[in-house]
Chains A and B, each alone.
Chain A
């Protein structure tokens, strides 16, 4: 990659600049700052869109009474029952049980505390879900669509 070819196409990186290796006019390697590359932005945005879609599906299932609110926060933190069990210290079979709405409704605050602490939210919040996925990714919708 030549120095003048280092891409400067911003995306989801919130203004962070990274370093690219490129050759200058004399053929020597230099470190060049880059705000991003469209090919990468597409791949990253695609990964987040997959997460948002999963959250939408989970919300629909919660509304239909098939899953508990815990399923939403698990998906929001990009976890599956196995990973959530490792993080929260709750056994995997219990995590899976807690994903059922009938079981979840009867759980005490004490049982829900490890989950709430892990996700950084209150127990009261853990019992509710938002209407639409609430990710802290404002740029996801507004990311500029550069033509390739």
Chain B
């Protein structure tokens, strides 16, 4: 029951899975293109939702949305299922594999034995492709690893039925039918417009550019409010959400810059080349933020002084992103 599935390593799990599945079904495309069409870029700071007991800061949209939006915009028909019964969930995968169809699955990282121990946290939004079964092992193409990996069926079952925030409930997804032809420029444009909208015109102050500014304003108060220990934990958490495996660096800003570069060709619009460079600059700014923040975590810099600097950097990120997405919208025209 093995499918000849071409594995490619990418930076981010969900866009990587989607790109690899599309590639298998005859649409060669890059991870960046999928990420952009699926409008994966985001910013959100939601202090009242806790992840590992720390406030949620995210640089991307929720799990599942990149696959959903990218396939919809390309006119691809997909199948999706969640399960209550682990046995039924395993049987459904086996049936699809027997029919020669590789299966995307949402899993909890904590239970995947092939992950380095240091990365095994309770994070349930990890995506991978199951493409075969040998004895009691499933063959898995996990896009953040260099090579395909094996995973015992019992461990995969635990991972697919991980509990807690974002519980996957055995979720699987797969491509059912590819269209005769693709309207790539239309899909790319729709993806860009959505990102501009969520970054600039969000109704809640927690998301987009407003979310970055909120984080900057709240952050300077942390040392006095929470004490040094908790402050440093929260700061470390932001670094991890921004730079941890799966972002491609700079909180997805570099992936997005790569997408804009590709989009310039697809839309035959030279303005996007310059905007891609500006997006890279924003990513570099986020990297500076992570670097200074990590020094604070290590106790190499005075806490309150550095927090003023960090907040200043965040405001700078927010201003640059605001200008960038405004100009991006303008570049597409009405």
Contact = CB atoms under 8 A, between A and B. Distances in A.
Q: Chain B: interface secondary structure?
A: helix
Contacts of A103: none
Query: Which of B117, B118, B146, B276 has the most chain A CB within a 10 Å cutoff?
Result: B118
Nearest to A15: B116
A43 B297 contact: yes
A29 B291 contact: no
Given A21-B257, A27-B277, A78 B110 contact: yes
A13 B164 contact: no
Given A21-B258, A44-B240, A137 B293 contact: no
A50 B232 CA distance: 11
A79 B298 CA distance: 26
Nearest to A21: B254
On chain B, which size bracket covers the interface? 35 or more
Contacts, number: 125
A29 B32 contact: yes
Interface stretch (B63-71, B125-133, B209-217, B241-249): B241-249
B290 A19 contact: no
Nearest to A20: B249
A139 interface: yes
Contacts of B246: 18
Interface string B260-284: 0110000000000000110010011
Query: Which of B9, B248, B283 has the most chain A CB within a 10 Å cutoff?
Result: B248
A66 interface: no
Query: Which of A17, A37, A46, A50 has the most chain B CB within a 10 Å cutoff?
Result: A46
Contact of A42 (B52, B277, B297): B297
B244 A44 contact: yes
Nearest to B276: A29
Contacts of B37: none
Contacts of B325: none
12 contacts: A1-B280, A1-B283, A1-B287, A11-B118, A14-B118, A19-B9, A20-B254, A21-B249, A29-B32, A43-B236, A86-B164, A148-B294
Interface of B: 9-11, 32, 52, 110, 116-119, 121-122, 144-146, 163-164, 232-233, 236-237, 239-240, 243-246, 248-250, 254-255, 257-258, 261-262, 276-277, 280, 283-284, 287, 290-291, 293-295, 297-298, 300
